[in-house]
Amino acid sequence: MRIAFLSPIMSGRGGMESAVRGLALGFAALGHEPRVYLLGGPPPETVWLEQVPYAVFGNAQQGRLRRFYEYSFGLAKEFRGFRPDVVVALDGPRLLKGKIALALAQRRADMWSWIHFPMKFVDMPGLLRLADGHLAISEGVANELRDFLGERKKSRVKTIYNPIQVDVPRISRPAVGEPTVFLHVGRLEWDRQKRVNDLLTAASRLKGDFRLVIVGDGTGFTQLQQYGRELGLDNRIEWLGWKFDPWAAAARASVFVLTSSYEGFALVLAEALAHGIPCITSDCKVGPDEIIEEGTSGWFYPVGNVEALAHRMQQVIDNPGILPSADTLQRSASRFSATAVAERACKAFAANGSRG
The secondary structure of 78-109 as a DSSP string is HHHHH--SEEEESSHHHHHHHHHHHHHHT---
| Residues 223-229: contacts with CB under 8 Å, at least 24 apart | 223/190, 224/188, 224/190, 224/196, 224/197, 224/200, 227/190, 227/197, 227/200, 228/200
Q: What is the pLDDT of residue 200?
A: 98
Per-residue pLDDT tens digits of the chain, which is 356 residues long:
999 999 988 877 788 899 999 999 999 999 999 999 999 888 888 888 999 999 999 887 888 888 888 889 999 999 999 999 999 999 999 999 999 999 999 999 999 999 998 998 898 999 999 999 999 999 999 999 999 999 999 999 999 999 999 999 999 999 999 999 999 999 999 999 999 999 999 999 999 999 999 999 999 999 999 999 999 999 999 999 999 889 999 989 999 999 999 999 999 999 999 999 999 999 998 899 999 999 999 999 999 999 999 999 999 999 999 999 999 999 999 999 999 999 999 999 998 765 44
Element (H, E) at 55: strand 54-57
Shared-domain flag, residues 306 and 213 = yes
266 and 308 assigned to the same domain = yes
> Among 225, 213, 307, which Cα is nearest to 255's?
213
Prediction pTM value: 0.89
| Same structural domain, 21 and 159 | yes
Residue 296 located in a structural domain: yes
Domain count, the chain: 2
Task: Check residue 68 and give its pLDDT.
Answer: 86
Specify the pLDDT at position 356.
45
Nearest alpha-carbon partner for 124 in 76, 73, 90: 90
Is residue 170 situated within a structural domain?
no
- The pLDDT, as a whole number, for residue 21 is 95
Residue 152 domain-assigned (yes or no)? yes
Contact 43, 21 (CB under 8 A): no
CA distance 309 to 303: 9
Are 114 and 254 members of one domain? no
Q: Is residue 175 part of a domain?
A: no
- Angstrom distance (rounded) from CA 48 to CA 61: 24
* pLDDT of the residue at 13: 74
Q: What SS3 string covers 13-41? A: CCHHHHHHHHHHHHHHHCCCEEEEEEECC
265: amino acid identity, one letter? F
Q: 138 and 8, same structural domain? A: yes
Residues 155, 195 within the same domain = no
Question: Is 28 in the same domain as 83?
Answer: yes
Is 274 a domain residue? yes
> Using the 8-state DSSP alphabet, how is residue 352 labeled?
T
Strands 86-89 and 110-113: parallel
Task: Check whether residue 245 and residue 276 sit in a common domain.
Answer: yes
Alpha helix stretches (DSSP H) within the chain: 15-29, 64-69, 75-82, 92-105, 139-149, 196-203, 221-230, 246-249, 267-274, 288-291, 306-318, 326-333, 338-351
Pairwise CA distance, residues 223 & 301, whole Å: 24
Same domain for 124 and 36: yes
Structural domain for 124, as ranges: 2-163+337-351
Whether 277 and 342 map to the same domain: the answer is: no
**How many degrees, rounded to 5, is the angle at CA 131 between CA 148 and CA 122?**
50
Answer positive or negative: Cα dihedral of 169, 175, 178, 182. Answer: positive
Q: Residue 202 belongs to a domain with what CATH number?
A: 3.40.50.2000
Counts for the chain of helices (H) and strands (E), in that order: 13, 13
Please check whether residue 172 lies inside any domain of the structure: no
Is residue 14 located within the same domain as residue 141?
Answer: yes
Residues 314 and 243 in one domain: yes
211 in Cβ contact with 313 (< 8 Å): no
Terminal C-alpha separation, the chain: 5
Give a yes or no: residue 173 inside a domain. no
Examine residue 168 and state whether it is found in any structural domain, yes or no: no
Whether residue 286 has a cis bond before it, omega within 30° of 0: yes
Q: Are strands 298-301 and 33-39 parallel, antiparallel or unpaired?
A: unpaired
